[in-house]
Structure 1
Amino acid sequence: MAGPYAPGFHPHLPGYKHKFLATALGATMWFWIFYRARKDGAKLLGLRHPWEGHGHGHDAHDAHGHQEHH
């Protein structure tokens, strides 16, 4: 049987608001993924250790920020 009364699943098309919201959320997701990849990509791929490259010099300072005297 063909036509509007054919058996099966017949979903309606999404409205403008739903299409806009889906596009906005999808773009936000990809921007966030690329932002985090730029910040943490080397760590995630194992090219750098998570504790490297902070540039704070924690090895030369104690907990109160004083330099150690050797």
Structure 2
Amino acid sequence: MAFHPHLPAKGYSIVAKTLGASMWFWVFYKAKQEGPVVLGLQHPWDGHGHGHGHGHGSEGGH
């Protein structure tokens, strides 16, 4: 007696591939954003490389 699993329906295969691709795109996006911190190449409290426009010197007495 041999084991013969049924193949999944085409819709399930498409959904699985879409969700899998979405997961990998998210992983690569987060690796690009936070990779240096995770690898220990940059501290999380160091700047992100872009200004926030706070204008620390010209806040007018605050």
Say how many residue pairs are matched.
Answer: 58
Give me the TM-score of the superposition, normalised by structure 2.
0.73
Please list every run of at least 4 consecutive aligned residues from structure 1 whose deviation after the TM superposition is greater than 2 angstroms.
none
Give aligned-pair identity as a percent: 55
CA distance in 2, matches of 1:67, 1:44: 38
Query: What is the correspondence of 1:1-70 to structure 2 with a 5 Å cutoff?
Result: 6-7=1-2, 9-54=3-48, 55-56=51-52, 61=56, 66=59
Q: Which runs of 5+ in 1 are unaligned?
A: 1-5
Structure (1 or 2) with the greater helix fraction: 2
Query: How far apart, in 2, do the equivalents of 1:38 and 1:67 lie?
Result: 38
- Could you give the per-residue CA deviations for residues 12-58 of structure 1, whole angstroms, max 9, x where no partner exists? 001101100110000000000000000000000000000101345x9
**RMSD after superposition:** 2.7
Stretches of structure 2 that go unaligned for 5 or more consecutive residues are: none
TM-score w.r.t. length of structure 1: 0.66
